[in-house]
């Protein structure tokens, strides 16, 4: 197992080799996921459950809030399986859940679930109705005060239809986005996504500031994590943003906030890690998104794929049906810098599918 | 994988099984390496680059200060490959570089490079011209103040032509040395080495004290690390000296300094780990060197060899062409007490050679 450097140099990830990581899973629901066929990240009609189930599976290898693991209609298993498999072979030192507006609280004892009194956000084609400043400040405060006894923090997300809200957010903030955003669909349902995004963007006014824009078109995870990142730099916490284009959007939001405040960031302790499936995705371009930042960002992609597996459900990843989520790309990079064997990891993931 | 006990008992190394290690690589240049044919540890004419390249390869699996990995004329690959392979399969928790007089600073970000404002030392046949007391005190201070969050420290070296300076140092201090010193050559070029050592020893006066002798015939690594060892005992830091006859000489220097001060050392937290190739070397005798110490020292050798490899470049190790360096013996002992599989390690090393 290994990783590729998309932006920056190998040094950041290499110097974390063998070091201890806390894994934070930020779960959030935007009711955008209720728009039919907008995402395949979960069970149709029950996508609001996906982050809850992902949190349970990641922590416990079982789901409690539903009888089965979230599966998409085509049978693509949640990337939580990948992250969980890494956690079994080379455990993170600490797992915590950030509740950034879940419909259903994960049924977990002993695990820390941070409650920020955040509600699920409204469909972006209904105006999202987020108090973006408040969510941002909650993230900022959490990032500023977060104490870890580990060497670095992996910050992951589970937000069904989150690529749609991310795309809308980046576009509202004026970034070049066309063909840069991935989706959990292979045959990207651009009509539904684009019409939703366009509908959402209609509400954005020219003289809206960053937070006014985000209030109308974004999701809690994006805004909160932008605050977290800015807060974390005040104490030199090393943070790996674990995800694809959604986490890239977190950084675009950070960038816009800094621009509006004429502020600066020392981004040397922040990196982004994603999957090979995002890195090689022809329908998106994470590098092009990140190159619009005014600050450098070390960016890596795991080289892991399912070439050692014959399992048809897993092969769907290699075919582009699913690409990221639940921090699986960063988990795979973590596995790579901690001596996890590809064959053993593949078998472990297969074992979850029976 | 396993290890043999050369001196002392298995207990020290066994009690470190499963514990966390910091790996310190002390790199230094003695211009002795410019003497033609004195060492094959690197590229002829560019041996001064070897410690720089070793540091880069160990940390990053790439070299930045030269296009290729240091290879000897016969194609013996640097032992940094072995240490790096161990670091990939069972990472050290922390890697740091000690610059004890490098010509070229390793190009590393994020990794700590300790700078002691030490210059490369002069050829020993030109009198070395080291301020041994100052170098020793820098080592002493560093060892006294060094804080590790890990359970023990592996202290390794990369010093081309370092066996020559070690041999000269031990001889100048009055230890029995004949046929005890190894070299990175199989067909040990005794004429060049011995004539260099004899030329160097001509400058040593009968009434020179330990530091005066070392100033004329030694190298920075040996002197600094003797200080480090003495400093480290003040806070019970567990230290594994990672190397062969050079690290044995560090202990001989410690011994001579203690004798001159009528001091004593609690050596129970210090050990030396080396390779099978040193342990079984017919041209040297590390055990005989260490038996001249006034204090006991737990000494181990890895049992690893390239019997599982068919790669001709690696077979040269088993044929005695290369034996130690970049702490590969201690890295192999670390691998042995951390469950690394011999076949997997062999494959990993082979993968670096393409």
Minimal CA separation from B101 to chain A, in Å = 23
According to the model, what pLDDT value does residue B36 have?
A: 92
Q: Where does residue B281 rank: exposed (0-12), middle (13-18), buried (19+ CB within 10 A)? A: buried
State the complex-level ipTM.
0.91
**Nearest chain B Cα to A340, which residue?**
B89
Where residue A308 falls (left for φ over 0; alpha for ψ -120 to 50; beta otherwise) is alpha
Encode A316-343: b = buried (16+ Cβ within 10 Å), e = exposed: bbeebbbbbbbbbbbbbbbbbbbbbebe
Q: Does B145 contact chain A (CB < 8 Å)? A: no
CA A19, B63, A285, A127 torsion-angle sign: positive
Residues A220-248 have a mean pLDDT of 97
Question: For residue B94, what pLDDT band results from cuts at 50, 70 and 90?
Answer: very high
Question: For residue A68, what pLDDT band results from cuts at 50, 70 and 90?
Answer: low
pLDDT in tens, A24-55: 999 999 999 999 989 888 888 899 999 999 99
Residues A268-293 have a mean pLDDT of 97
According to the model, what pLDDT value does residue B354 have?
A: 76
Where residue B107 falls (left for φ over 0; alpha for ψ -120 to 50; beta otherwise) is beta
Q: Are the Cβ atoms of A18 and B91 closer than 8 angstroms?
A: yes
- Cβ atoms within 10 A of the Cβ of A244, count? 33
pLDDT in tens, B155-203: 999 999 999 999 999 999 999 998 899 765 666 667 899 999 999 999 9
The boundaries of the domain holding residue A105 are: 3-353
Q: Are the Cβ atoms of B61 and A18 closer than 8 angstroms?
A: no
Residues A87-113 have a mean pLDDT of 98
Minimal CA separation from B59 to chain A, in Å = 7
The yes-or-no verdict on residue B68 having pLDDT over 60 is: no
In CATH, what number is assigned to the domain containing residue B257? Answer: 3.40.50.10210
A24 three-class SS: strand
Distance CA(B246)–CA(B256), nearest Å, equals 15
Minimal CA separation from A260 to chain B, in Å = 30
According to the model, what pLDDT value does residue A84 have?
A: 98
Question: For residue A137, what pLDDT band results from cuts at 50, 70 and 90?
Answer: very high
pLDDT in tens, B307-321: 999 999 999 999 988
Instruction: Quote the mean pLDDT of chain A.
Output: 95
The yes-or-no verdict on residue A114 having pLDDT over 70 is: yes
The sheet carrying B239-242 orders its strands as B3-7, B298-302, B270-274, B239-242, B152-158, B21-27, B94-99, B112-115
A39-43, A87-91, A175-179: the lowest-pLDDT one:
A39-43
According to the model, what pLDDT value does residue A188 have?
A: 62
Nearest to residue A56, comparing CAs of A28, A80, A24, A21?
A: A80
Total domains in chain A come to 1
Tell me the residues of chain A between 298 and 337 that have a Cβ less than 8 Å away from chain B: 337
According to the model, what pLDDT value does residue A120 have?
A: 98
According to the model, what pLDDT value does residue A170 have?
A: 98
């Amino acid at each position: 197992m290994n990783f590729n450097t998309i932006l920056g140099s190998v040094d950041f990830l290499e110097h974390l080799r063998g070091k201890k990581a806390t894994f934070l899973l930020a779960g959030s629901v935007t009711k955008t996921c209720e728009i039919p066929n907008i995402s395949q990240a979960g069970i149709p009609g029950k996508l609001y459950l996906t982050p809850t189930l992902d949190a349970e599976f990641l922590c416990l290898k079982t789901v409690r809030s539903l009888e089965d693991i979230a599966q998409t209609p085509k049978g693509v298993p949640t990337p939580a399986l990948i992250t969980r498999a890494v956690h079994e072979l080379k455990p993170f030192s600490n797992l915590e859940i950030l509740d950034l507006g879940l419909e259903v609280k994960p049924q977990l004892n002993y695990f820390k679930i941070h409650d920020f009194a955040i509600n699920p956000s409204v469909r972006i084609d209904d105006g999202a109705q987020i108090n973006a400043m408040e969510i941002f400040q909650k993230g900022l405060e959490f990032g500023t005060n977060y104490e870890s006894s580990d060497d670095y923090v992996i910050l992951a997300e589970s937000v069904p239809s989150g690529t749609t809200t991310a795309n809308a957010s980046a576009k509202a903030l004026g970034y070049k986005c066309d063909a840069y955003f991935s989706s959990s669909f292979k045959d990207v349902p651009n009509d539904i996504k684009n019409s939703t995004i366009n509908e959402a963007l209609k509400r954005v006014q020219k003289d809206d500031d960053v937070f006014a824009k985000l209030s109308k078109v974004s999701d809690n995870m994006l805004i909160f994590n932008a605050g977290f990142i800015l807060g974390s730099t005040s104490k030199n916490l090393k943070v790996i943003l674990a995800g694809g284009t959604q986490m890239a959007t977190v950084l675009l939001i950070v960038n816009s906030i800094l621009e509006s405040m004429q502020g600066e960031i020392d981004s040397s302790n922040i990196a982004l890690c994603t999957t090979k499936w995002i890195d090689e995705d022809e329908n998106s371009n994470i590098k092009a998104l990140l190159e619009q930042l005014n600050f450098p960002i070390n960016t890596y992609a795991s080289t892991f794929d399912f070439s050692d597996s014959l399992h048809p459900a897993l092969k769907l990843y290699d075919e582009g049906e699913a690409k990221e989520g639940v921090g699986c790309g960063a988990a795979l990079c973590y596995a790579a810098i901690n001596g996890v064997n590809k064959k053993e990891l593949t078998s472990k993931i297969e074992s979850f599918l029976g």
